[in-house]
Amino acid sequence: MVEKRRASRRLKRLPVRCSCGTCEFAGVTSNFSQDGLFIRTKKPFKPGVPVKLLFETDKKSTIALSGVIARAIRKEIMFSKNGMGVKLTSIPQSYSSFLEELSSNRSF
């Protein structure tokens, strides 16, 4: 399989709140990159849907992000990696700093 990703991924599991208009649910981050992230959830939004994300780092700072669903995976297998890939539409400095910290800290 050909690798389509342009940015390297940083693995980290953190609780995340996802919202799309009036719909809101919780998920868990799976990985982060410079321009997106993957969220594990049983209820992924459809591709193309704009979303707002909110998660708390290990250092108890909160990061708010905006993005668009790039892909959604929903399989009936319980232990499958169900979820959604989010392409970020705006990247705050706090997110860039968080990624730098993940890159320098290999103990996750």
If you ran DSSP here, which 8-state letter would residue 95 be given? H
Please give the sequence-ordered ranges of beta strands (E in DSSP) within 1-108, or none if there are none: 10-11, 15-20, 23-33, 36-40, 50-56, 62-73, 83-90
Closest C-alpha among 47, 54, 29 to residue 108: 29
The confidence score (pLDDT) of residue 10 equals 81
Can you give the pLDDT at residue 73? Answer: 87
Q: What is the pLDDT of residues 56-72, one digit of tens each?
A: 998 889 999 999 999 99
Q: What pLDDT, in 10s, does the model give residues 70-83?
A: 999 877 665 567 89
Candidates 3, 48, 32, 50; CA nearest to 103 is 32
pLDDT in tens, 28-54: 998 999 999 999 988 888 999 999 999
Tokens in use for 46? 């459809």
